[in-house]
Amino acid sequence: MAPLSPFAGEIAAALQWWRDAGLEHDFSDDPADWLARSEPAVTEAAPPPPPKAIERPVAPLPKLGGDSAGWPQDLAAFTQWWLAEPSLDNGHVEGRIAPRGPAGAALVVMVDHPESQDADRLLSGPQGRLLDAILAALGIAPDQVYVASLLPRYMPLPDWASLQAAGLGDLARHHVALAAPKRLISFGQHVSSLLGHDPAKSAENLPQNYQVGAQVPALAAPGLETLMARPRGKARLWQALLDWQAA
C-alpha cells in the first residue's frame, strides 16, 4: 500500500471543518446578482367567460276579444261578435258554432268546444244526445237551456294554459253574465277551472258545487265525452244532480 500523502490529514481536517460549518455541496464560482428580480413565469391566459344571454322581455299574449271594455253588453250582440271577431281565434272565423238558447234561461250548459261534426247546431252529435238525455231525466225542457262553449270552434288539443293567460276565463264569465241563467252546469275540468272553480282544492272525485260571479250557482261535472266512456261516472253525476236540484 502506498504511503499516505503528508497533506492527507490536513485535507481531511479542512473538509471536516467545512462540513461542520454546514457546507456539504459544491458551489459555482460564477458571480450572481442576488438582488435581480426574477421574471414571472409565463402562464396561459384563462379564456374569457362566455357572454351572458340577453333576456328579452316576453311580450304579453294578446287578449282574446281585445279590451274587455269593447265586449258586447247584450246577448244577441255577443252571439254575432262570437261568430265574427277575429281576435277570438288568431284570425280564424271558419267553423265557428253559435251558442243556442234563451237569455235568462233556467240553466246554462257550458262545454269546452263544439263537437267535431257540428255545423249548424252546437252539440249535434253523440255528446249532444247524452246531454238531451240528462236534461230529459231532470225534467228540463230543451228550450229552457242555454248551451254554450268556451271556444268558438272544435279544437282537438287546445293549449289551455295559453288560453287562460289570454283571458279566456274572463270572456267565459262575461258570457255567463250576459246569459243570466238561474243555474249552470260545466262539463269538463277546463270549463269549471276557467269559470273560477279550482278542483285542486278538493280531494273528491265527485262533481263539485261552486259559484260563477255573484249570483249563478254552478255544478262541475266530468266532460260529456268522459261520461260516455265511463258509465259509472253517469251514476255519480246523476246523484250529484239530484242533490244539487234539491239544495
Q: What is the pTM of this model?
A: 0.73
Q: Which CATH class is domain 96-157+169-246?
A: alpha beta
Q: Model confidence over 10-45: pLDDT tens digits? A: 777 776 766 766 666 666 666 666 566 666 666 666
Cβ within 8 Å of residue 153, ≥6 positions away: 89, 92, 94, 95, 96, 97, 113, 114
Average pLDDT, stretch 44-54? 73
Whether 49 has a pLDDT exceeding 90, the answer reads: no
Crossing angle of helices 168-179/75-84, nearest 10°? 140
For residues 158 and 151, the answer to whether their CB atoms sit within 8 Å is: yes
Strand, helix or coil for residue 28 = coil
| In the chain, domain spans | 96-157+169-246
